[in-house]
């Protein structure tokens, strides 16, 4: 029996939480497992692709049909052939006069299908938390290691970047090569936001000038920035306005210590992004099924939409237990 991993957090400093809305959250968890599926009239009408008006072969299935099948694949962790059979069984049970996309069509169209934009629950200013994690991919190295029963220490993987708002919804996502810098992706996410950012929380990987410059234009008003400065950081020599929050954090850390600064500044709220990563890996998995980069990005976008749908069903309302 494997030994239990010991927590790195001293029990004295470990915060305890209690879920206030357990009954509602429990009902939401049951809904996530409900496999009742129904196609409304709009979906049925839009299942077949309209004529393109161009010469040559015409598409048989709309993007909606392809995304529906690929969404079911992500939720139920199905290979493409089983996805084809699953969708066919749903159509048969509902008695619909629709054809099912075959697995080769799903594979081909998954590279170019238009995935709907992330659904926004609100359009006001947001508290943004950003983080990244790795997703494994099955490449030639893994295939040869399995076939020839050899060890392969250099596993291939992609980097998933998520931006999560204060309610736990994913508002931006990117899938990049593993060598891409977190801060550069963070800048692109900030600049791509169509709403004001009131607070930005991230870990030390985002402690760069480019992040602070991007956030300077993310208001108005200028957002509160909570990024742990590097341990070797020093205040800017010219006292720049863009870096004033970073300079204040460096001074405060020197006075009270990094642990107390994190507590006072609310740096623990960066865990919202970490929780988003955890939900992704628990619900969808820690690996990408697709092999081509374009298809992997489509797979990730569909998975993120699934996570947001499940988040919309209900989330726990946790409060700190006062000792």
Whichever domain contains 263, its CATH number is: 3.30.420
89 shares its domain with 146: no
Terminal-to-terminal C-alpha distance of the chain: 34
The answer to whether position 283 is within a domain reads yes
pLDDT value, residue 217: 85
172 shares its domain with 76: no
Comparing CA positions, the residue from 267, 261, 262, 250 lying closest to residue 199 is: 267
The answer to whether position 21 is within a domain reads no
Q: What is the mean pLDDT of the chain?
A: 85
The answer to whether position 213 is within a domain reads yes
Give dist(CA 188, CA 174) in Å, integer.
9
| Structure tokens belonging to residue 269 | 């709220």
pLDDT category of residue 66 using cuts at 50, 70 and 90? very high
pLDDT value, residue 148: 59
149 shares its domain with 197: yes
pLDDT category of residue 1 using cuts at 50, 70 and 90? very low
126-137 vs 318-320, strand pairing mode: unpaired
Give dist(CA 155, CA 178) in Å, integer.
11
* pLDDT at 57 > cutoff 90: no
pLDDT per position as a tens digit, 15-31: 677 878 878 888 887 87
The answer to whether position 72 is within a domain reads yes
105 shares its domain with 156: no
pLDDT value, residue 322: 58
The answer to whether position 3 is within a domain reads no
181 shares its domain with 279: yes
Task: Single out the residue in 109, 139, 168 at which a domain terminates.
Answer: 109
pLDDT per position as a tens digit, 219-246: 677 899 999 999 888 888 776 788 999 9
140 shares its domain with 263: yes
100 shares its domain with 193: no
250 shares its domain with 142: yes
104 shares its domain with 151: no
Buried b (16+ CB within 10 A) or exposed e, 167-189: ebbbbbbbbbeeeeebbebbbeb
273 shares its domain with 176: yes
The answer to whether position 302 is within a domain reads no
Domain count for the chain:
2
79 shares its domain with 143: no
The answer to whether position 314 is within a domain reads no
The answer to whether position 300 is within a domain reads no
Q: How far is CA 11 from the centre of its chain?
A: 30
Query: Residues 294-302: what's their mean pLDDT?
Result: 95
| Structure tokens belonging to residue 235 | 């205040």
Which residues constitute the domain of residue 217? 126-288
Of 13-17, 42-46, 85-89, 247-251, minimum mean pLDDT range: 13-17
234 shares its domain with 88: no
What is the pTM (predicted TM-score) of this model? 0.82
pLDDT value, residue 74: 93
Query: Residues 203-224: what's their mean pLDDT?
Result: 89
Q: Which residues contact 258 (CB under 8 A, 6 or more apart)?
A: 228, 231
């Amino acid at each position: 029996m494997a030994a239990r991993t010991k927590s790195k957090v001293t029990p004295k400093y470990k915060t305890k939480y209690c879920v206030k809305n357990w009954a509602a959250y429990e009902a939401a968890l049951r809904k996530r497992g409900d496999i009742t599926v129904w196609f409304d009239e709009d979906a049925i009408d839009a299942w077949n692709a309209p004529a393109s008006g161009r010469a040559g072969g015409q598409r048989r299935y709309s993007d909606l049909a392809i995304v529906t099948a690929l969404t079911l694949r992500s939720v139920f962790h199905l290979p493409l052939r089983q996805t084809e059979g699953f969708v066919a069984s749903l159509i048969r049970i509902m008695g619909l006069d629709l054809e099912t996309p075959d697995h080769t069509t799903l594979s081909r169209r998954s590279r170019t299908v238009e995935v709907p934009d992330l659904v926004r629950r609100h359009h006001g200013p947001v508290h943004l938390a950003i983080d990244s994690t790795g997703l494994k991919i099955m490449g030639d190295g893994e295939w040869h290691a399995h076939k020839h029963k050899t060890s392969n220490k250099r596993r291939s993987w992609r980097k998933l970047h998520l931006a999560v708002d204060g309610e736990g919804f994913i508002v931006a996502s990117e899938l990049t090569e593993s060598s891409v810098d977190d801060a550069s992706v963070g800048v692109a996410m900030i600049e791509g936001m169509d709403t004001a950012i009131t607070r930005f929380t991230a870990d030390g990987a985002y402690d760069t000038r480019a992040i602070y410059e991007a956030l300077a234009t993310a208001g108005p008003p200028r957002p509160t920035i909570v990024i742990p400065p590097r341990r070797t950081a020093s205040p800017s020599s010219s006292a720049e306005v863009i870096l004033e929050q970073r300079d204040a954090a460096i001074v405060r850390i020197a006075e009270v210590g990094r642990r107390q600064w994190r507590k006072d500044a609310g740096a623990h709220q960066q865990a919202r992004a970490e929780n988003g990563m955890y939900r992704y890996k628990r619900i969808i998995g820690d690996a990408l099924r697709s092999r081509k980069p374009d298809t992997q990005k489509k797979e990730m976008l569909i998975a993120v939409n699934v996570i947001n749908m499940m988040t919309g069903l209900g989330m726990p309302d946790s409060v700190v237990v006062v000792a």
